[in-house]
Amino acid sequence: VLSGNRPVSPATRRKVERVMEELGYRPNFFARALNSKKTHTVALIVRDLTNPFYPALARGLQTAVAAADQVVMLFDASAGSALTRTFVDEAVQRRVDGVVVAGGEVETVLEVLRDAGVAVVAVGSMVSGKPVDWVSADDMRIGHDATAHLHDAGHTRIATICGPPTTEPGRTRLAGYTQALADLGLAADPDLIVAGDWTRESGAAALRQLLALAQRPTAVFCANDLMAIGALDAALEAGLSVPSDLALMGVDDIDAANLVRPALTTVRIPAEEIGRAAGDLLLQRIAEEDASAHRHVLVQHSLIPRQST
Protein backbone atom coordinates (compact mmCIF):
# COMPACT_ATOMS: atom_id res chain seq x y z
CA VAL A 1 0.00 0.00 0.00
CA LEU A 2 3.05 2.20 -0.01
CA SER A 3 2.58 2.99 -3.63
CA GLY A 4 -0.22 5.32 -2.63
CA ASN A 5 -1.45 8.30 -0.72
CA ARG A 6 -2.37 7.07 2.67
CA PRO A 7 -0.87 7.67 6.08
CA VAL A 8 1.56 4.89 6.98
CA SER A 9 3.91 4.70 9.91
CA PRO A 10 7.57 5.08 9.03
CA ALA A 11 8.33 1.72 10.59
CA THR A 12 5.83 -0.14 8.47
CA ARG A 13 6.96 1.72 5.40
CA ARG A 14 10.54 0.71 5.95
CA LYS A 15 9.62 -2.90 6.56
CA VAL A 16 7.59 -3.09 3.37
CA GLU A 17 10.30 -1.40 1.39
CA ARG A 18 12.85 -3.91 2.57
CA VAL A 19 10.70 -6.84 1.58
CA MET A 20 10.01 -5.28 -1.81
CA GLU A 21 13.72 -4.99 -2.31
CA GLU A 22 14.41 -8.58 -1.28
CA LEU A 23 11.77 -10.05 -3.52
CA GLY A 24 12.58 -7.71 -6.40
CA TYR A 25 8.95 -6.76 -6.47
CA ARG A 26 7.73 -4.69 -9.41
CA PRO A 27 4.11 -3.55 -9.38
CA ASN A 28 2.21 -5.05 -12.29
CA PHE A 29 1.72 -2.36 -14.82
CA PHE A 30 -1.48 -3.79 -16.20
CA ALA A 31 -3.30 -4.33 -13.00
CA ARG A 32 -2.54 -0.73 -12.31
CA ALA A 33 -3.72 0.51 -15.68
CA LEU A 34 -6.86 -1.54 -15.23
CA ASN A 35 -8.37 0.68 -12.62
CA SER A 36 -6.51 3.90 -13.12
CA LYS A 37 -7.42 3.93 -16.80
CA LYS A 38 -4.03 5.49 -17.42
CA THR A 39 -1.46 3.63 -19.44
CA HIS A 40 1.32 6.18 -19.34
CA THR A 41 1.95 5.43 -22.97
CA VAL A 42 1.74 7.70 -25.97
CA ALA A 43 1.74 6.58 -29.57
CA LEU A 44 3.81 8.29 -32.23
CA ILE A 45 2.68 7.69 -35.78
CA VAL A 46 5.17 8.92 -38.37
CA ARG A 47 4.85 8.87 -42.10
CA ASP A 48 8.37 7.70 -42.81
CA LEU A 49 10.90 7.00 -40.09
CA THR A 50 13.56 6.81 -42.77
CA ASN A 51 13.25 10.54 -43.37
CA PRO A 52 15.78 11.94 -40.87
CA PHE A 53 13.31 14.60 -39.83
CA TYR A 54 11.27 12.06 -37.88
CA PRO A 55 13.91 10.41 -35.74
CA ALA A 56 14.82 13.88 -34.49
CA LEU A 57 11.17 14.58 -33.79
CA ALA A 58 10.84 11.24 -32.00
CA ARG A 59 13.74 12.09 -29.77
CA GLY A 60 12.17 15.42 -28.83
CA LEU A 61 8.89 13.72 -28.05
CA GLN A 62 10.55 11.12 -25.87
CA THR A 63 12.42 13.81 -23.98
CA ALA A 64 9.25 15.75 -23.28
CA VAL A 65 7.03 12.89 -22.20
CA ALA A 66 9.67 11.02 -20.21
CA ALA A 67 9.38 13.75 -17.62
CA ALA A 68 5.82 12.56 -16.98
CA ASP A 69 6.82 8.90 -16.90
CA GLN A 70 5.34 8.32 -20.29
CA VAL A 71 6.79 5.92 -22.81
CA VAL A 72 6.44 6.12 -26.57
CA MET A 73 5.04 3.45 -28.80
CA LEU A 74 6.32 3.78 -32.34
CA PHE A 75 4.37 3.32 -35.55
CA ASP A 76 6.24 3.80 -38.80
CA ALA A 77 3.77 4.12 -41.65
CA SER A 78 6.60 3.62 -44.18
CA ALA A 79 6.23 6.24 -46.91
CA GLY A 80 2.94 6.43 -48.64
CA SER A 81 1.30 3.40 -47.12
CA ALA A 82 -2.19 3.88 -45.76
CA LEU A 83 -1.35 2.26 -42.46
CA THR A 84 -2.24 5.29 -40.39
CA ARG A 85 -5.79 4.13 -39.83
CA THR A 86 -4.69 0.66 -38.72
CA PHE A 87 -2.19 2.18 -36.33
CA VAL A 88 -4.78 4.48 -34.83
CA ASP A 89 -7.03 1.48 -34.16
CA GLU A 90 -4.18 -0.36 -32.53
CA ALA A 91 -3.34 2.63 -30.37
CA VAL A 92 -6.96 3.06 -29.32
CA GLN A 93 -7.35 -0.59 -28.41
CA ARG A 94 -4.22 -0.37 -26.33
CA ARG A 95 -5.72 2.59 -24.53
CA VAL A 96 -2.76 4.88 -25.01
CA ASP A 97 -3.15 8.15 -23.15
CA GLY A 98 -2.44 10.12 -26.28
CA VAL A 99 -1.17 9.98 -29.82
CA VAL A 100 0.82 12.32 -31.99
CA VAL A 101 0.28 11.97 -35.70
CA ALA A 102 3.23 13.32 -37.64
CA GLY A 103 3.08 13.75 -41.34
CA GLY A 104 0.21 11.47 -42.03
CA GLU A 105 -3.23 12.39 -43.15
CA VAL A 106 -4.53 13.42 -39.79
CA GLU A 107 -7.94 14.56 -40.83
CA THR A 108 -9.17 11.08 -41.65
CA VAL A 109 -8.47 9.76 -38.17
CA LEU A 110 -9.43 12.69 -36.02
CA GLU A 111 -12.94 11.47 -35.42
CA VAL A 112 -11.98 7.96 -34.35
CA LEU A 113 -9.53 9.40 -31.89
CA ARG A 114 -12.01 11.87 -30.45
CA ASP A 115 -14.69 9.20 -30.04
CA ALA A 116 -12.21 7.01 -28.22
CA GLY A 117 -11.41 9.88 -25.92
CA VAL A 118 -7.67 9.80 -26.47
CA ALA A 119 -5.67 13.00 -26.57
CA VAL A 120 -4.26 13.94 -29.96
CA VAL A 121 -1.76 16.35 -31.32
CA ALA A 122 -1.12 16.77 -35.00
CA VAL A 123 2.31 17.65 -36.26
CA GLY A 124 3.12 19.38 -39.51
CA SER A 125 -0.53 19.88 -40.16
CA MET A 126 -1.90 23.32 -39.66
CA VAL A 127 -5.41 22.01 -39.32
CA SER A 128 -6.93 25.36 -38.50
CA GLY A 129 -10.53 25.16 -37.51
CA LYS A 130 -10.28 21.46 -36.79
CA PRO A 131 -10.67 20.33 -33.19
CA VAL A 132 -7.08 19.36 -32.49
CA ASP A 133 -4.01 20.68 -30.83
CA TRP A 134 -1.26 21.02 -33.34
CA VAL A 135 2.30 22.16 -33.77
CA SER A 136 3.86 23.08 -37.04
CA ALA A 137 6.04 25.56 -38.79
CA ASP A 138 4.48 28.44 -40.66
CA ASP A 139 4.24 26.59 -43.95
CA MET A 140 2.74 29.49 -45.81
CA ARG A 141 5.62 31.76 -44.95
CA ILE A 142 8.14 29.00 -45.65
CA GLY A 143 6.87 28.68 -49.20
CA HIS A 144 6.81 32.42 -49.53
CA ASP A 145 10.28 33.04 -48.09
CA ALA A 146 11.91 30.35 -50.20
CA THR A 147 10.35 31.61 -53.42
CA ALA A 148 11.30 35.17 -52.61
CA HIS A 149 14.86 34.08 -51.91
CA LEU A 150 15.05 32.49 -55.34
CA HIS A 151 13.65 35.66 -56.87
CA ASP A 152 16.20 37.76 -55.01
CA ALA A 153 18.91 35.68 -56.65
CA GLY A 154 17.62 36.86 -59.98
CA HIS A 155 15.28 34.06 -61.00
CA THR A 156 11.96 34.72 -62.64
CA ARG A 157 11.06 31.28 -63.92
CA ILE A 158 10.69 29.45 -60.65
CA ALA A 159 9.17 25.96 -60.40
CA THR A 160 8.11 24.00 -57.35
CA ILE A 161 8.23 20.35 -56.48
CA CYS A 162 5.49 20.32 -53.91
CA GLY A 163 4.33 17.70 -51.43
CA PRO A 164 1.17 15.63 -51.92
CA PRO A 165 -1.88 17.91 -52.01
CA THR A 166 -3.58 15.54 -49.58
CA THR A 167 -1.26 16.75 -46.85
CA GLU A 168 -1.41 20.07 -45.13
CA PRO A 169 2.23 21.08 -45.44
CA GLY A 170 2.03 20.01 -49.08
CA ARG A 171 -0.90 22.30 -49.77
CA THR A 172 0.28 25.21 -47.67
CA ARG A 173 3.87 25.43 -48.84
CA LEU A 174 2.49 25.41 -52.34
CA ALA A 175 0.10 28.21 -51.44
CA GLY A 176 3.06 30.18 -50.09
CA TYR A 177 4.86 29.68 -53.39
CA THR A 178 1.84 30.80 -55.39
CA GLN A 179 1.32 33.79 -53.15
CA ALA A 180 4.95 34.84 -53.50
CA LEU A 181 4.72 34.63 -57.27
CA ALA A 182 1.70 36.93 -57.16
CA ASP A 183 3.35 39.34 -54.73
CA LEU A 184 6.43 39.43 -56.92
CA GLY A 185 4.41 40.06 -60.04
CA LEU A 186 5.56 36.79 -61.61
CA ALA A 187 3.23 34.81 -63.87
CA ALA A 188 2.00 31.48 -62.49
CA ASP A 189 2.54 28.60 -64.88
CA PRO A 190 0.76 25.33 -63.97
CA ASP A 191 3.46 23.37 -65.82
CA LEU A 192 5.91 24.56 -63.21
CA ILE A 193 4.10 22.78 -60.40
CA VAL A 194 4.87 19.09 -59.97
CA ALA A 195 3.94 17.02 -56.92
CA GLY A 196 6.20 14.48 -55.26
CA ASP A 197 5.59 12.26 -52.23
CA TRP A 198 8.39 13.63 -50.02
CA THR A 199 10.88 10.93 -51.03
CA ARG A 200 14.21 11.37 -52.76
CA GLU A 201 13.09 9.27 -55.74
CA SER A 202 9.97 11.31 -56.27
CA GLY A 203 12.08 14.47 -56.30
CA ALA A 204 14.27 13.08 -59.04
CA ALA A 205 11.26 12.02 -61.11
CA ALA A 206 9.63 15.41 -60.68
CA LEU A 207 12.74 17.25 -61.81
CA ARG A 208 13.03 15.08 -64.91
CA GLN A 209 9.50 16.09 -65.75
CA LEU A 210 10.40 19.77 -65.34
CA LEU A 211 13.48 19.40 -67.50
CA ALA A 212 11.36 17.96 -70.28
CA LEU A 213 9.49 21.24 -70.54
CA ALA A 214 9.97 23.43 -73.61
CA GLN A 215 10.66 26.35 -71.33
CA ARG A 216 12.69 25.03 -68.43
CA PRO A 217 12.67 26.71 -65.04
CA THR A 218 15.94 28.22 -63.79
CA ALA A 219 15.16 27.57 -60.15
CA VAL A 220 13.12 25.02 -58.19
CA PHE A 221 11.67 25.28 -54.71
CA CYS A 222 11.32 21.75 -53.30
CA ALA A 223 8.95 21.29 -50.39
CA ASN A 224 11.43 19.19 -48.41
CA ASP A 225 15.13 18.31 -48.45
CA LEU A 226 14.75 14.72 -49.51
CA MET A 227 12.97 15.75 -52.71
CA ALA A 228 15.54 18.50 -53.25
CA ILE A 229 18.33 15.95 -52.98
CA GLY A 230 16.52 13.76 -55.49
CA ALA A 231 16.18 16.78 -57.76
CA LEU A 232 19.90 17.38 -57.37
CA ASP A 233 20.56 13.77 -58.38
CA ALA A 234 18.51 14.25 -61.53
CA ALA A 235 20.06 17.64 -62.33
CA LEU A 236 23.62 16.35 -62.10
CA GLU A 237 22.65 13.26 -64.04
CA ALA A 238 21.32 15.54 -66.80
CA GLY A 239 24.67 17.27 -66.91
CA LEU A 240 23.39 20.47 -65.36
CA SER A 241 25.50 22.57 -63.09
CA VAL A 242 23.96 23.70 -59.82
CA PRO A 243 23.37 26.56 -59.14
CA SER A 244 24.53 28.15 -62.41
CA ASP A 245 22.19 26.18 -64.68
CA LEU A 246 19.58 25.46 -62.07
CA ALA A 247 19.11 26.72 -58.51
CA LEU A 248 17.62 24.35 -55.93
CA MET A 249 16.13 24.80 -52.48
CA GLY A 250 14.72 22.44 -49.90
CA VAL A 251 12.99 22.57 -46.53
CA ASP A 252 13.87 20.87 -43.19
CA ASP A 253 17.66 21.12 -42.98
CA ILE A 254 18.33 17.47 -42.33
CA ASP A 255 22.03 16.56 -41.99
CA ALA A 256 22.15 15.40 -45.59
CA ALA A 257 21.38 18.92 -46.81
CA ASN A 258 24.84 19.96 -45.75
CA LEU A 259 26.46 16.76 -47.01
CA VAL A 260 25.53 16.95 -50.68
CA ARG A 261 27.65 18.96 -53.08
CA PRO A 262 26.77 21.66 -53.76
CA ALA A 263 25.44 22.02 -50.24
CA LEU A 264 21.72 22.63 -50.25
CA THR A 265 20.17 25.98 -49.46
CA THR A 266 17.18 25.21 -47.29
CA VAL A 267 14.64 26.45 -44.79
CA ARG A 268 15.41 24.98 -41.41
CA ILE A 269 12.63 23.50 -39.31
CA PRO A 270 13.66 22.47 -35.81
CA ALA A 271 12.50 18.86 -35.72
CA GLU A 272 13.51 18.03 -32.18
CA GLU A 273 11.88 21.18 -30.88
CA ILE A 274 8.69 20.23 -32.67
CA GLY A 275 8.79 16.85 -31.00
CA ARG A 276 9.22 18.47 -27.62
CA ALA A 277 6.41 20.92 -28.22
CA ALA A 278 4.13 18.11 -29.33
CA GLY A 279 4.96 16.19 -26.18
CA ASP A 280 4.22 19.19 -23.98
CA LEU A 281 0.91 19.85 -25.67
CA LEU A 282 -0.02 16.21 -25.34
CA LEU A 283 0.79 16.11 -21.65
CA GLN A 284 -1.33 19.19 -21.02
CA ARG A 285 -4.23 17.71 -22.95
CA ILE A 286 -3.95 14.42 -21.09
CA ALA A 287 -3.93 16.20 -17.75
CA GLU A 288 -7.08 18.16 -18.47
CA GLU A 289 -10.41 16.67 -17.65
CA ASP A 290 -12.60 19.01 -19.63
CA ALA A 291 -12.09 19.76 -23.27
CA SER A 292 -10.49 23.16 -23.22
CA ALA A 293 -9.87 25.27 -26.28
CA HIS A 294 -7.47 23.84 -28.80
CA ARG A 295 -3.99 25.21 -28.84
CA HIS A 296 -1.38 25.47 -31.48
CA VAL A 297 2.27 26.25 -31.39
CA LEU A 298 4.01 27.71 -34.36
CA VAL A 299 7.65 26.90 -34.51
CA GLN A 300 10.26 29.26 -35.93
CA HIS A 301 11.85 28.53 -39.29
CA SER A 302 14.97 30.12 -40.74
CA LEU A 303 16.51 30.35 -44.14
CA ILE A 304 19.92 28.73 -44.46
CA PRO A 305 21.70 29.96 -47.59
CA ARG A 306 24.26 27.52 -48.92
CA GLN A 307 25.67 26.73 -52.33
CA SER A 308 22.73 25.45 -54.35
CA THR A 309 21.27 28.91 -54.93
Residues making contact with DNA (CB under 7 A): 1, 3-12, 26-28, 31-32, 34-36
3-state secondary structure the chain: CCCCCCCCCHHHHHHHHHHHHHHCCCCCHHHHHHHHCCCCEEEEEECCCCCCHHHHHHHHHHHHHHCCCCEEEEEECCCCCCCHHHHHHHHHHCCCCEEEEECCCHHHCHHHHHHHCCEEEEECCCCCCCCCEEEEECHHHHHHHHHHHHHHCCCCCEEEEECCCCCHHHHHHHHHHHHHHHHCCCCCCHHHEEECCCCHHHHHHHHHHHHCCCCCCCEEEECCHHHHHHHHHHHHHCCCCCCCCCEEEEEECCHHHHCCCCCCEEEECCHHHHHHHHHHHHHHHHHCCCCCCCCEEEECCEEECCCCC
Q: How far is the CB of 40 from DNA (least distance, A)?
A: 12
Strand partners, 134: 122, 296
84 binds its own copies (CB under 8 A): no
5 binds its own copies (CB under 8 A): no
Q: How far is the CB of 262 from its own copies (least distance, A)?
A: 9
Among 16, 20, 68, 73, binds its own copies (CB under 8 A): 73
Q: How far is the CB of 238 from its own copies (least distance, A)?
A: 18
62 binds its own copies (CB under 8 A): yes
| Cβ proximity to DNA, 6 vs 215, nearer residue | 6
275 binds its own copies (CB under 8 A): no
Among 3, 5, 9, 93, binds its own copies (CB under 8 A): 93
Rounded CA-CA distance 46/254 in Å is: 16
Site for its own copies in 223-252 (CB under 8 A): 229
**Candidate ranges 8-16, 53-61, 241-249, 288-296; the one touching its own copies (CB under 8 A):** 53-61
Task: Choose the contact partner of 12 out of DNA, its own copies, none; CB within 5 to 8 A by kind.
Answer: DNA
Among 6, 21, 26, 244, binds its own copies (CB under 8 A): 26
Q: Roughly what angle, to the nearest 10 degrees, separates helices 168-183 and 139-152?
A: 40
Among 2, 8, 19, 34, binds its own copies (CB under 8 A): 34
Q: How far is the CB of 251 from its own copies (least distance, A)?
A: 17
**Candidate ranges 6-14, 46-54, 156-164, 187-195; the one touching its own copies (CB under 8 A):** 46-54
Task: Choose the contact partner of 9 out of its own copies, DNA, none; CB within 5 to 8 A by kind.
Answer: DNA
| Cβ proximity to DNA, 27 vs 190, nearer residue | 27
Task: Choose the contact partner of 11 out of DNA, its own copies, none; CB within 5 to 8 A by kind.
Answer: DNA
Q: How far is the CB of 113 from DNA (least distance, A)?
A: 19
Q: How far is the CB of 255 from its own copies (least distance, A)?
A: 7
**Candidate ranges 43-51, 162-170, 208-216, 245-253; the one touching its own copies (CB under 8 A):** 43-51
Q: Which residues bind its own copies (CB under 8 A)?
A: 24, 26-31, 33-34, 39, 41, 44, 49-50, 52, 54-56, 58-59, 62, 71-76, 78, 90, 92-95, 115-116, 200, 229, 255-256, 259-261
